[in-house]
Amino acid sequence: MDYFYIITNEEKDKDLEITNRIQAYIESHGKTCVISKRDGKSRLRCDLIPKEVECALVLGGDGTLIRAARELAEFDIPLLGINLGTLGYLTEVEIEEHESALQRLFANDFHVEERMMLRGKVHGQMEDTALNDVVVTRDGCLRTIRFHVYVNEVLLHKYSADGIIVSTPTGSTGYNLSAGGPIVQPTASIILLTPICPHDLNASSIVLSPSDRIMIQIIGDEERQVPAVVTFDGVELTPLKPGEGVTIRKSSQVTKIIKLSKESFMHTMRNKMKGSEGQ
């Protein structure tokens, strides 16, 4: 690789000291490196991304990498996460290892994993993409919301719950896991449905085919108007009124994650969790 693009979480590298150091290291080896720019609303200036870019180095935590994946969804640019955060499932490289990681990239000594994404359309209008999950949940109120879940236009279940998580395999270790959902190999191609605190004996997660089309519709009446919202990867909050809903399917776009380690996902997960015996 010869052409790099850096996306930095400036809250974690406020003076861009680490960013500038990485750029200098890349350029000292005869490579090209461009630092990303954002507009007045903190959105990535994708129009300024050079066409020659071969890799995006994402400096921050998993949240920074997930945001970068969404912002670069229309581009065919693989991402390498350099961890400035804490846990870091997606940000594989620790900051003290960045020079050896870059040497691997210079030598093309890596492989690329493709991660599926979700595409959602909110009440037939606004559309967005998610790498981790699309979540429908109550908006601040402590009462449960009522909603129906349809799969391929067939009613799957009627829920009264705090909400529901529609997750990719990559997102299985996020909110889905906290809500009691299963952990899935991140390169798999399935869709997970996990209810959030359901008032129901049937509280299990459901695993669907990547070709399935999911529709979540909010149910309410004049006496029970509980506000609901839908979020994509925890952002882009959009309110949902009774009768409105969101349709979710597998996206045609994928996120490409650069992998340097040959450790299995299960080994990485065990090390990150730090919760099993024998650690």
Indicate which residues carry an active-site annotation: 62
Task: Tell me the C-alpha distance between 49 and 35, whole Å.
Answer: 9
The owner of tokens 């529609």 is 166
For residue 82, give Cα distances in angstroms to 70, 86, 88, 279.
17, 11, 9, 24
Pairing of β 55-60 and β 3-8: parallel
Task: Tell me the C-alpha distance between 166 and 59, whole Å.
Answer: 27
Task: Tell me the C-alpha distance between 197 and 195, whole Å.
Answer: 6
The helix/strand/coil state of 167 is: strand
Instruction: Kindly calculate the radius of gyration of the chain based on its CA atoms and give it in whole angstroms.
Output: 20
Q: Residues 255, 115: contact at Cβ < 8 Å? A: yes
- The dihedrals phi and psi of 260, each to the nearest 5 degrees, come to -105, -35
Burial 168-203 (b: 16+ CB within 10 A, else e): bbbbbbbbbbebebeebebebbbbbbbbbebeeeee
